[in-house]
């Protein structure tokens, strides 16, 4: 069946429908990962977006649901040059095509994803529609496409109820704004007891449970749409409890500390982004998925110091907060997909909690 991708600038790509045939309007973003498409699809940070995979062949090793990073797939749409027709891997449970159908993800294949990516790089992230309606009228659909905005995405992706992963070590409170499974898993594998809280849990309730540390997760959308959560994080920030934040959590911590964030032209999404540790000068390859960035110069003087910087474009990738046991990063040390070069940050967080307990 024919399918069409219509961008808000009027560009139309014609391809073939894959997955659900439902018509969707979403923000179109691109990911440069060559593998890890299942982890991408199940990353809650993609809620409210349609993902373009820049690598030309996707799906060659199929789907194994043990690799899912949340309970379901989150993107509104999935855009690829070619989907492998016959996946081959000893762990394969089903094809990517069948997974898109099962998860009701609208997809399009057979389009020039290189040309599409160049448009998004040069003009910036934009909205688009995926439709199988061959009789669409461009002048009628463009206003609808341009009006689209992500809404309530953190509420959609957060856990419904509090959950506990048992452990004999430090007790960590994980505030779930759309957390990938591997954040809690990375802590739990290091012996931590991890209690996962819904995004709108009050700081008072979290602190009443007396955690040794607080983890703020990744998540979707504009950080400034989460100001009620920022108010609670501000209380956690001043509590003296060690805190580590990733991605959206990094942005919300900066807002709580009096800083500002801004939308990027096309964001960072992929498993090959170099970041530099400003203390040691060492560079790491990181997994990233974000469209907003912290403006470190906006944080009041003496409150925080930049800890990591993106080697490609110089944007902020992490902050250390002065006089507080708090540090945050924009990239994903838990990876999935991507390199695990920076997984040592979980060990740093555990050491911070142990030092606080023994002080």
Query: Which residues are known to be catalytic?
Result: 247, 332, 334
- Annotated binding-site residue? 323: no
- Annotated binding-site residue? 70: no
- Annotated binding-site residue? 289: yes
CA distance 76 to 51: 8
CA distance 329 to 306: 10
- Annotated binding-site residue? 197: no
Parallel/antiparallel/unpaired status of strands 126-131 and 24-31: antiparallel
DSSP state of 66: G
- Annotated binding-site residue? 221: yes
Instruction: Quickly count: other Cβ atoms within 10 Å of residue 258's Cβ.
Output: 12
CA distance 65 to 69: 9
CA distance 352 to 284: 22
- Annotated binding-site residue? 251: yes
- Annotated binding-site residue? 340: no
R_g over Cα of the chain? 20
Q: How far is CA 69 from CA 26, 82, 92, 105, in A?
A: 22, 23, 17, 16
Q: E strands of the chain, at which residues?
A: 2-7, 12-19, 24-31, 49-53, 57-58, 77-80, 82-83, 106-109, 126-131, 163-165, 171-176, 193-198, 213-216, 243-246, 260-277, 283-295, 304-310, 316-321, 326-329
- 310's CB contacts (< 8 A; 6+ apart) are 268, 273, 274, 275, 276, 316, 317
- 313's CB contacts (< 8 A; 6+ apart) are none
- Annotated binding-site residue? 204: no
Cα-flanking dihedrals φ and ψ of residue 41, to 5°? Answer: -60, -30
Instruction: Quickly count: other Cβ atoms within 10 Å of residue 263's Cβ.
Output: 14
CA dihedral 122, 220, 156, 199 (to 10 degrees): -160
Residues written for the chain: 359
Feature table: binding site for L-glutamine: 45, 219, 221, 248, 251, 289, 291-292
Feature table: binding site: 45, 219, 221, 248, 251, 289, 291-292
């Amino acid at each position: 069946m024919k399918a069409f991708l219509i961008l808000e600038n009027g560009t139309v790509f014609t391809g073939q429908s894959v997955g659900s045939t439902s018509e969707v309007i979403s923000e179109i973003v691109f990911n440069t990962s060559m593998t890890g498409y299942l982890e991408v699809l199940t990353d809650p940070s993609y809620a409210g977006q349609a993902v373009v995979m820049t690598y030309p062949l996707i799906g060659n090793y199929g789907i194994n649901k043990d690799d899912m990073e949340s309970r379901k797939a989150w993107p509104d749409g999935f855009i690829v040059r070619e989907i492998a027709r016959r996946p081959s891997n000893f762990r394969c449970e089903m094809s990517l095509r069948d997974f898109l159908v099962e998860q009701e993800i609208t997809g399009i294949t057979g389009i020039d994803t290189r040309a599409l990516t160049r448009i998004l790089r040069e003009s910036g992230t934009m909205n688009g529609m995926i439709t199988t309606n061959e009789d669409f009228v461009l002048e009628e659909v463009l206003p609808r496409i341009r009006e689209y905005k992500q809404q309530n995405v953190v509420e959609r992706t957060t856990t419904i109820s509090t959950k506990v992963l048992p452990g004999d070590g430090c007790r960590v409170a994980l505030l779930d704004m759309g957390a990938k499974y591997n954040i809690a898993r990375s802590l739990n594998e290091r012996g931590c007891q991890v209690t996962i809280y819904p995004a709108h849990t009050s700081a008072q309730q979290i602190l009443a449970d007396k955690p040794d540390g607080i983890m703020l997760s990744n998540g979707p959308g504009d950080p400034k749409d989460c100001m009620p959560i920022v108010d609670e994080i501000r209380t956690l920030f001043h509590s003296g409890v060690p805190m580590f934040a990733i991605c959206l959590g990094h942005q919300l911590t900066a807002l709580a500390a009096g800083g500002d964030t801004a939308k990027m032209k096309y964001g960072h999404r992929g498993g090959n982004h170099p970041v530099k540790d400003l203390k040691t000068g060492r560079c790491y390859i990181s997994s990233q998925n974000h469209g907003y960035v912290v403006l470190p110069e906006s944080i009041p003087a003496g409150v925080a110091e930049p800890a990591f910087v993106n080697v490609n474009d110089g944007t902020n990738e992490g902050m250390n907060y002065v006089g507080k046991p708090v540090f945050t990063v924009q990239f994903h040390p838990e990876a999935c997909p991507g390199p695990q070069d920076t997984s040592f940050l979980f060990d740093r967080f555990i050491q911070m909690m142990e030092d606080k307990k023994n002080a």
